[in-house]
Amino acid sequence: MDIANNNDNVQLLNGLSDDERAIVRQILLDVSENGKSEDLTNLYYEDYEEIPVDLETFLCEEQYLGKYTNYGKDIYETWRKELQFVHNPINFVDQWAITGCLDGSVKIPMLDGTTPTILELYNKHKNNPKNNGKDTIDYLYSYDVNENKYVVGELVRVFFTGIKRVYKLTLDNGQEVICTANHPFLSKSKHWKTLNNGLNTGDSLMSFRREYNDGYEVLVTEKECKLAKQYTHRMVAEYKSGISENNKMYEGHHKDFNPYNNSPNNICVITKTQHKKYHAKYNWKYNENFKKKALESLKNSKNISSEVQSDRSKKRWSKYTSKEERKQYLLEIGCTQFSSEYNKYNHPNLLKIDKQEFIEYAGKCYSKWQVIEHFNMSRRWVY
């Protein structure tokens, strides 16, 4: 072994003790003869409190990354080889990036309605690599492959990976994407493909499709050969509160009344009743056209509903002359409303309500609407 020709190595060896030099010589001898050294491995893991598992275990086992990599099956072979090289203690790698890259000119749709380029996001985040508060986080659209729906994504970091060869990918709608050959794209068959691994002319990719219904943004995906639609603000409301976006009792309200700004910072979750009241008050105060129509509607209204309800009540109570008879009638109605036979056809939600719980809760409420929202009841039942 001729190691004296390298000045750096000579200086390094001169700074070692006799025992340390003996260990270095043994390591070099083991590596030259066997390609590996047990002493080097022991030195490499000496500072670890717990010896890490091998790379394959980490990538494939469920308690690590297994459930995110389809137990290792979704990792490209080229990536696997690169990972093995980087994590080999003999190879000293200072900085490394394996993921595909996009050009800085590519625009990224954000949930707040803006569409900045990657370069603009990079300049914004390079001086603030860590988001120290929820208000400083940028939110974007993400796609859950397992659930087959859009979800809220948090932008963690934008980083520069160097100057690389890029390619222009042209779609059938005329849009273009500039990327490296190993940037992954999700196909309609739910497989990730790259320009250098599986992506060919004519392949169908998952599209980012948006529509607008009454001013609100709707995300469209294909699910079981059918079009599935998600309201963006309801998706964000579920992200913030944990309440399912399909729950009709709660809604997402835009704080700035801008339906295009669906950032979680701009969405608050309130009940449907509260939402209607809030918008009615806002429109009454700021929308002169709404106020004019509301006044005309009140002026021309004959309140037919009240008249019909009044006649119905008179007929109903005419059968019961005394207070005792009316009291008995109310008790019978109460029992009927909680009976399974009645609710089977009228109010199936009441089958799940405990009668005693209902009575106790209703007694504490100051409004019937509290009861409706708490038990998810039909409004007709309260009358």
pLDDT at 10 over 60: yes
Tallying the residues shown for the chain, one arrives at 383
Q: For 61-118, how does the pLDDT look when each residue is reduced to its tens digit (9 = 90+)?
A: 888 888 878 888 877 776 777 777 777 766 655 445 456 788 889 999 999 999 999 9
Provide the residue type at 246 as one letter: N
pLDDT at 341: 46
pLDDT at 132 over 60: no
Average pLDDT over residues 325-350: 51
**Which tokens hold the place of 72?**
């290792």
> Which residues have a Cβ under 8 Å from the Cβ of 118 and sit 6 or more positions away?
102, 103, 104, 105, 106, 107, 108, 158
With contact defined as beta carbons under 8 Å apart, do 252 and 230 qualify?
no
In which band, very low, low, confident or very high, does the pLDDT at 170 lie, cut at 50, 70 and 90? very high
Q: For 197-243, how does the pLDDT look when each residue is reduced to its tens digit (9 = 90+)?
A: 888 888 988 888 899 988 899 999 877 667 888 999 999 999 988 88
pLDDT at 316 over 80: no
DSSP string, 251-271: EEEETTS-TT---GGGEEEEE
Could you give the domains of the chain?
A: 1-51 (no CATH), 52-98 (no CATH), 118-209 (2.170.16.10), 220-278 (no CATH), 316-382 (no CATH)
Please state which of the ranges 16-25, 102-111, 203-212, 353-362 shows the lowest mean pLDDT.
353-362
Q: Read off the DSSP letter of residue 51.
A: P
Give the SS3 label for residue 96. Answer: coil
In which band, very low, low, confident or very high, does the pLDDT at 343 lie, cut at 50, 70 and 90? very low
pLDDT at 339: 45
In which band, very low, low, confident or very high, does the pLDDT at 120 lie, cut at 50, 70 and 90? very high
